[in-house]
Amino acid sequence: MISSVIILTSAGYIAQKKYGDWKIYGGSGDNIKYSDLKQVDTTNVNQLKVAWVYHSENQDQSKYGPMECNPIIVNNTLFGVSPRLKLFAVDAATGKEKWHFDPADTSDNKTWARNSVNMNRGVAYWSDGDDRRIIYTVGPIAFAVNAETGKLIPGFGIDGGVDLRKGLGRDEKGVSISPTSPVVIYKDLFITSGLVSETTPGHIRGFDVRTGKQKWIFHTIPYPGEAGYTTWDDKTAYKRMGSTNAWSGFSLDSKRGLIFAGVGSPTNDFYGGDRWGKGLFGNCLLALDAATGKLKWHFQTVHHDVWDMDISSAPVLVSIPRNGKKIDAVVQTTKTGFVFVFDRVTGKPLFPIIEKPVPTNNAALGEKLNPTQPFPVLPKPFVRQLMTEKDLNTVVGDSSYQDIKKRFKTYRSQGIFTPPTEKGTIILPGYDGGGEWGGPAVDPETNILYVNANEMAWVLNLVKEKSDNKKSMSNLQAGVVLYHKNCMGCHGPERLGSGDYPSLIGVEKKYKFAQFSELLSTGRRMMPGFAQLSKAEKTAIGSFVLNLKSEQENPYTGTAIKNTNKSRPSYSFTGYNKFLTKEGYPALSPPWGTISAIDLNTGKYQWQVPFGEFEELKKKGIPTTGRENYGGPVVTAGGLIFIGASADGKFRAINKKTGKTIWETDLPAPGVATPAVYEVDGKQYIVIACGGSKWGGKSSDAYVAFTLPGK
C-alpha cells in the first residue's frame, strides 16, 4: 500500500507527495527506497547532527549484535527490532521509548516464548479503525502486537502467535523456517516466505491478518498438475526438496493486486545431481495474485543453479517510457550483477534477454548443467563476472601477489557460470553478490536506479559426501559424518570457519549440550534450524563438535547415514571460502565495493564509484578501493543518496547526480541496514540501525537518527 500526503505548493495548488512517509519496509509497496522529502539537500547536508540515539537493549553489551532492520514510522512513532528481536516503539522525534515487546518474556508471551536469535529485517503495520497491529516474525512464529500498547493480540492465531511451520505440506516436526524479511500486507492479508532449512520448502503463503489463518499457498516446488512440475526430472521433488524460498522479501502493486517476489535456489546450493532439470520456481522472479496466490507470470534468472545465485533482494516497481507511453515495470537486481526489467503485467522483457551458451564440460559426476543461461543485453552487469590473471590484486606486496597468482593457477575460472569442481572453481560475482539483500533505490522522477554491490571472488571446492552404512557406529564416528553432511559447508572441514561463518574450535567453552541442541533446532541469525535432525543425530554431532568424551564412545542409535541416491554420488562443499591475500584483502583487484547509477529509461550508466574504504590503505595514499557492504541505499528529492552498509562503519550522503560523497560520519558500529527517511512536525529525519556486522569488530544496539539543527 502506498500512502500519499497532500501539500499546498508555493503556487497555491494542491499536489500529492506519493513518497512522503515511511510506513512500509523500503518506504513503499514499490520498494524503491525513495523519499519526496527535500528539507535536507546537497547545500545543507553537511550540517546534519545527531537528533537522538535509542539503545534497543539498554546498552547491555552482552546483547549487542547485527541489526539489519529498516524501521517504519507511523503516526510519529518509529517501530523497529533489537539485536535480540525485541519489538519496540519510540517517539520518532525524540527516540524516547513508548513500549517494547520481548518475545522471550514468558509473562507476556506464555505460549510462544523464544530465546533464539534469528535475523529480522523489519516489521509491517496494519490498521482498521482503532485496531492497529504490528506483524513481525521471530524464528518460525509470526506475532500480532497491538501498535498502541505493545501487547499480543489474543484473537490472532493462538495467544497472539502463528506457527509458520504448520501448513507447508510437510511434517512440521522436521520443518525449519525463519523469515528474515518482513511480511507484506495486502488488504486483510499478510504474505510471507523466509529463510528455511535444506529440507524445508520455501512456499509463499497468505494469512488472514485478523485471525492468523492460512488463506492460500503458492508451491515454489510445484505439485503434480501445477505449472512448473515438469521442469523437475524427479517427479517426487515436491515431497522432499527444500529451499526455493522468497527470503529477500516482496514488492506490491496494490492497485492491481499483484505481489512480486524473487526466489532462491533449490537444495543443494552447489550440486544438482539429485535435482536434474531447470527446477522451477528456483531462481525465479514471480508475479502472483496477492489475493489468491495464483501465478500470473514468472522468469527464471538462472537455470539449474549450482552457484548459490539466489535472487537476493525484493524487486522494485517503476514506470518506464516506451514509444511515447509509460509502461509499469518491475526491475530485479541480482547477485550476478544483472538487472532484469519486465512489463509488470505481462512479464515481457523491456530490454532484450539472450540465452547464451555457458561452459558445461568437466562438471562433477552426476551433474547435468543447463547449456545456456539468460543474459540481459541492457543494462550491462554492474560488477565483474570474469577473473583472469590480469585481475589479481597488485595493491599488496610482491610476495603476497606471487602467492595468490600461484593459487589462482590451480583454480578453474571461465566466468560467471564455470562448473563447480573438486579442483576448485572461482565464483565471481561471489556468494554475497554483486547485488545483495539491501536492494537498489530508484528515483521515480528520473528513473535512475542506484545499487551498491560487492566485488569479492570466492573459491568453491566440491567434496563427495561421506556416508557410512555400518550398523554399529559410535556417536563420535556418526558425529563426524553428520557434521560433514550438515555443517561443513559453513564451518569448514576442520571446524575453523570460513567466509563469514565462525570457527567452532573451543565452542564447548560457550555451550553446554542442551544449549547446543536448542541452537541446532532453532538456528541463529542467518543459520537455519535443523529441525529434521533426530535427538540421536544431535547427540552425535554434539559429541564431536563439543568434544563430549562421555558421549563419544556410546553407540550411535540413530538411523543409518547413507547416500539415498545410489545411481550417482552426492556432493557437499568445503565452506564459504573467500579468495584472499595473506593480509586478508580480496585477491581480486579493486574496486571491492561499488555504487552504480543506471538510467532505466535507456539501460545506460550515469556513473559508478568505489564505495567504502580501508583506513590503513588510505593512509598509504592508495585510492579508494571500495569494501564489502550489506544494506541498501535510500534516495531523496533533496538530491541525496543516504547509505551506511559498508564495513568501514561510515554513514554517507552522496550526490545522486555525480556519485561524490559530500558528507560522512562515524556510526557507533557499522550500519548494515537500510536507512529510513521521515518527517515529524515539518522536520526531516534520517535514521539507521547500527548493530555491527558479520565481519566482527564493533557491535551495538543503537538506532541513530540525524536531522538539521533548529526548525
Least confident span in 60-69, 181-190, 642-651? 60-69
Identify the band that residue 400 occupies on the pLDDT scale cut at 50, 70 and 90: very high
Buried b (16+ CB within 10 A) or exposed e, 398-426: eebbeebeebbeebbbeebbbbbbeebbb
How much of the chain, in percent, has pLDDT values that exceed 70? 90
Taking the alpha carbons at both ends of the chain, their separation in whole angstroms is 31
Predicted local confidence at residue 14, as pLDDT: 38
Q: Which residue shows C-alpha cell 577473473? A: 387
Closest by CA position to 641, among listed 655, 630, 651: 655
Of 7 and 509, the structure prediction assigns the larger pLDDT to 509
Distances (CA, A) of 87 to 159, 211, 248, 700, 703: 17, 20, 20, 16, 13
- Residue 318, amino acid: V
The yes-or-no verdict on residue 7 having pLDDT over 60 is no
The yes-or-no verdict on residue 554 having pLDDT over 50 is yes
| CA gyration radius, the chain | 24
Query: Helix/strand/coil (H, E, C) string of 624-648?
Result: CCCCCECCCCEEECCCEEEECCECC
How much of the chain, in percent, has pLDDT values that exceed 90? 74
The yes-or-no verdict on residue 496 having pLDDT over 60 is no
The yes-or-no verdict on residue 563 having pLDDT over 70 is no
Predicted local confidence at residue 508, as pLDDT: 72
Query: Do 194 and 245 meet the contact criterion of CB atoms below 8 Å apart?
Result: yes
C-alpha cell read off for 27:
518506504
The yes-or-no verdict on residue 166 having pLDDT over 90 is yes
Report the alpha-carbon distance of residue 304 to residue 300 in Å, rounded. 10
The yes-or-no verdict on residue 519 having pLDDT over 80 is no
String of DSSP letters for 165-200: TTTSSS-GGG--EE--SPPEEETTEEEE--EE-TTS
Least confident span in 207-216, 460-469, 535-544, 702-711? 460-469
The yes-or-no verdict on residue 398 having pLDDT over 90 is yes
Query: Do 450 and 641 meet the contact criterion of CB atoms below 8 Å apart?
Result: yes
Predicted local confidence at residue 576, as pLDDT: 82
Report the alpha-carbon distance of residue 205 to residue 194 in Å, rounded. 10
C-alpha cell read off for 184:
507484506
Identify the band that residue 11 occupies on the pLDDT scale cut at 50, 70 and 90: very low
For the chain, give the mean pLDDT.
90
Report the alpha-carbon distance of residue 400 to residue 417 in Å, rounded. 28
Average pLDDT over residues 201-211: 97
Q: Which residues pair with 679 in a beta bridge?
A: 684
Closest by CA position to 244, among listed 269, 224, 223, 225: 269
Predicted local confidence at residue 292, as pLDDT: 98
Least confident span in 6-20, 151-165, 460-474? 6-20
DSSP label of 117: -
Of 421 and 525, the structure prediction assigns the larger pLDDT to 421
Report the alpha-carbon distance of residue 677 to residue 41 in Å, rounded. 13
Buried b (16+ CB within 10 A) or exposed e, 72-107: bbbeebbbbbbbbbbbbbbebbebeeebbbbbeeee
Average pLDDT over residues 372-395: 97
Q: 626 — alpha (psi -120 to 50), left (phi > 0) or beta?
A: left
C-alpha cell read off for 297:
507470470
The yes-or-no verdict on residue 237 having pLDDT over 50 is yes
Is this model's pTM higher than 0.85 or not?
A: yes
Report the alpha-carbon distance of residue 434 to residue 444 in Å, rounded. 23
CB neighbour list of residue 433: distance below 8 Å, 6 or more residues apart = 312, 334, 335, 337, 383, 453, 454
The yes-or-no verdict on residue 276 having pLDDT over 60 is yes
* Number of helices followed by number of strands (H, E) in the chain: 8, 43
Identify the band that residue 531 occupies on the pLDDT scale cut at 50, 70 and 90: low
Predicted local confidence at residue 199, as pLDDT: 86
Predicted local confidence at residue 550, as pLDDT: 75
Query: Do 382 and 337 meet the contact criterion of CB atoms below 8 Å apart?
Result: yes
Report the alpha-carbon distance of residue 556 to residue 412 in Å, rounded. 40
The yes-or-no verdict on residue 10 having pLDDT over 50 is no
Query: Do 26 and 674 meet the contact criterion of CB atoms below 8 Å apart?
Result: yes
Query: Do 296 and 410 meet the contact criterion of CB atoms below 8 Å apart?
Result: no
The yes-or-no verdict on residue 12 having pLDDT over 50 is no
The yes-or-no verdict on residue 545 having pLDDT over 90 is no
The yes-or-no verdict on residue 423 having pLDDT over 90 is no
Predicted local confidence at residue 4, as pLDDT: 45
Report the alpha-carbon distance of residue 253 to residue 663 in Å, rounded. 35
The yes-or-no verdict on residue 367 having pLDDT over 80 is yes
Average pLDDT over residues 291-306: 98
Query: Do 156 and 210 meet the contact criterion of CB atoms below 8 Å apart?
Result: yes
Helix, strand, coil proportions of the chain in percent (round to 5)?
10, 35, 55
Average pLDDT over residues 309-333: 96
Dihedrals φ, ψ of 45, to 5°? -60, -30
Identify the band that residue 121 occupies on the pLDDT scale cut at 50, 70 and 90: very high
The yes-or-no verdict on residue 546 having pLDDT over 50 is yes
Q: What is the dihedral of CA 73, 696, 180, 521, to 10 degrees?
A: -140
Report the alpha-carbon distance of residue 638 to residue 212 in Å, rounded. 41
Least confident span in 139-143, 570-574, 677-681? 570-574
Average pLDDT over residues 604-610: 98
Q: What is the dihedral of CA 138, 144, 145, 147, to 10 degrees?
A: 120
C-alpha cell read off for 692:
555491527
Report the alpha-carbon distance of residue 206 to residue 183 in Å, rounded. 10
Query: How distant is the alpha carbon of residue 79 from its chain centre?
Result: 20
Distances (CA, A) of 464 to 46, 422, 458, 498, 508: 56, 8, 20, 19, 28
CB neighbour list of residue 177: distance below 8 Å, 6 or more residues apart = 140, 164, 165, 168, 194, 195, 196, 197, 200
Query: Do 377 and 347 meet the contact criterion of CB atoms below 8 Å apart?
Result: no
Closest by CA position to 633, among listed 2, 32, 192, 16: 32
Predicted local confidence at residue 526, as pLDDT: 61
